[in-house]
Amino acid sequence: MDIIRQRIQDFFSTPPEGQKVEVLGWVRSVRESKQVAFLHLSDGSTTAPLQVVVDKTREELASCLETLRTGASVRVVGTLRPSPGTKQPVEIHAEALTVLGPAPEDYPLQKKRHSFEFLREIAHLRPRTNTIGAVMRVRNTLAWEIHRFFQERGFLYVHTPIITTGDAEGAGALFRVTTLPPDAPYDPTEDFFGAPAFLTVSGQLEAEAYALAFVNVYTFGPTFRAENSHTPRHLAEFWMVEPEMAFCDLEGDMHLAEEFITHLLEAVLERHPEEMAFFEQWIAPGLTDQLEAVVNTPFTHMTYTEVIEHLKKAPASFTFPPEWGMDLQTEHERYLTEELVKGPVIVTDYPKEIKAFYMKQNPDGRTVRAMDVLVPRLGEIIGGSQREDDYERLLARMQELGMRIEAYQWYLDLRRYGGAPHAGFGLGFDRLVQYVTGMQNIRDVIPFPRTPGNAAF
C-alpha cells in the first residue's frame, strides 16, 4: 500500500481514513501519560494542530520520545483514524517516528500566549505561531487575488524601478542609495549613478508612462519611506499596489477602487473561514460581520468640504479642531468611518495645498481631483487621484512648488506627446492585510518589519 503524504490541512479536509500516511511538521506540544504520548504537530497549512498518538509500550517509539520536544521537526508514519476527541476530525496513530531536527528545552516558543512585542524579537520563529500563520496565509491569498483581479481585467503588470534619481514626489522621507564611503563629503557626480539616488516611495510616475502606452497597468512592489512615524500603521518598507488607467477620470478610479476592495474581502471571507474564526476569537471580535457589511454596502462618498462641515458639527471634541485646509487627522478619520458612517468612506476634492503636485486641479482653483478611501480602525487605506493632464497647468504648479523641472521633464513630456486623461491609486498592501485580519499593529502582518531603529531581522 502506498503511503500518502500530504499537508495537515488536507488530512482534515479530505482524510484518507484508515490509510497509511506520512506527515512532516513541527511539534507544538507533547503530552505524556504512562502508556501513550500525544504530540501536536503543525506545518503552517492550518491553525488546528494534528494529533499524533504514540504507543509508549513500543520500544522504538518510546526511545524516540526522549529527544522529542516542543519545536522539533519530525516525520511521522502511521494510520489515520477518526479522533475520539472532538477538536479535530482525525488523528494519526504512529508506527514510525523520526526526529529530523531536535529543539532544546529553552526553545523560545513554548505552548502559551506570547505578546506580539516578544514575538517581534524572534521574527525568525514567529511564523510558527498560530497568529502569524493565519495572517501569512491571508496575506498570501490577498497577493494572489490582487494579481487575479487585475489580470482578469486585462491590466498589464509593470515592474517600476526600486532605485530612482532626482527628488521624488513628496521629498523629505527618502532613503539614499550610495556607494560612496560614509566619511567622504557627498559629491553626487562621484556617486554610482552620477546623481543622488534614492529608494522609491511610489511607482506611480513611472506607471503613468506605461498607462499612456498600455491603457491599464498596475504595479505591486516594495516602497520605502524614511518617515520617523512610530505608529501602528506605518512601516519604513512596505508593499504597494498601484493601478493606473488611461482614458479614465476620478469616477472611474473610485469605481475600480471599490470593486477592488470588495473583491479582495469576498475572496478572503470565502477561502479563509478558519482563519477568520481565529481572528474573530483572539484578535478582533465582530471582524467577519464588519467585513461582510463592507462587501454588501456601497461605499459612502463625500467631498473634503462636506467632511469638514460634518466634523465641525460633530458632538466629539477633537485635539485638532477641524478647519478647511487642514489635513485630516486620525481622530477625524476614525470619527467619520466609525461613528458617522460606520463603514468605508471615499473622500474627494481635497485642498490642493495638502495634496501632491500631479493631481488634476478643479475649476475652483482651490481643490484637486483626489480621492482617499478611509476605513474603520485604520483610516487611509487608499490614496488616489485623476492626474493633471494639462501641460501648462502642471508646469505652473511644479514651478509654484519650486520643483526641479529638468528632473521631471520626461514626466511633463507625457502631457505633450499624446497625453490623455488618466487616473490611478495606491493601496498600502500591508494596511490591507491589517484591515482584513484585524491585527492592531502593521509590524505583525509583514514577515520582517522595518521601522525606525529596527531592521535587525
Q: How far is the CB of 266 from ligand ATP (least distance, A)?
A: 20
Residues near 198 by beta carbon (within 8 Å), at least 6 away in sequence: 163, 164, 165, 168, 174, 175, 176, 177
> Nearer to ligand ATP by C-beta: 131 or 200?
200
Q: How far is the CB of 334 from ligand ATP (least distance, A)?
A: 13
> Nearer to ligand ATP by C-beta: 366 or 450?
450
Q: How far is the CB of 219 from ligand ATP (least distance, A)?
A: 12
Q: How far is the CB of 203 from ligand ATP (least distance, A)?
A: 11
Backbone φ and ψ for 124, nearest 5 degrees, come out as: -80, -15
> Nearer to ligand ATP by C-beta: 91 or 430?
430
Q: How far is the CB of 455 from ligand ATP (least distance, A)?
A: 14
> Nearer to ligand ATP by C-beta: 238 or 408?
238
Interface residues with ligand ATP (CB under 6 A) are 225, 227, 234-235, 238, 240, 380-383, 426, 428, 430-431
Q: In what order do the strands lie in the sheet with 300-303?
A: 156-157, 216-224, 237-246, 422-428, 379-386, 367-375, 345-351, 300-303
In Å, how far from its chain's centre is CA 349? 27
Nearest to 135 by CA among 435, 450, 445, 427: 445
The answer to whether 34 touches 19, Cβ cutoff 8 Å, is: no
Q: How far apart are CA 221 and CA 239, in angstroms?
A: 5
* Beta partners for residue 38, in sequence order: 31, 53
> Nearer to ligand ATP by C-beta: 376 or 428?
428
Q: How far is the CB of 174 from ligand ATP (least distance, A)?
A: 13
Dihedral of the CA atoms 357, 363, 369, 375 (nearest 10)? 120
Q: How far is the CB of 167 from ligand ATP (least distance, A)?
A: 15
> Nearer to ligand ATP by C-beta: 11 or 425?
425
> Nearer to ligand ATP by C-beta: 227 or 266?
227
Q: How far apart are CA 50 and CA 42, in angstroms?
A: 6
Q: How far apart are CA 311 and CA 441, in angstroms?
A: 27
Residues near 321 by beta carbon (within 8 Å), at least 6 away in sequence: none
Q: How far is the CB of 426 from ligand ATP (least distance, A)?
A: 3
DSSP string, 104-133: -TT-S--SS---HHHHHHTTTTGGGSHHHH
Q: How far is the CB of 442 from ligand ATP (least distance, A)?
A: 6
> Nearer to ligand ATP by C-beta: 40 or 431?
431
> Nearer to ligand ATP by C-beta: 137 or 225?
225
Q: How far apart are CA 432 and CA 415, in angstroms?
A: 33
User: Which amino acid type is present at position 49?
Assistant: P
Nearest to 247 by CA among 418, 39, 88: 418
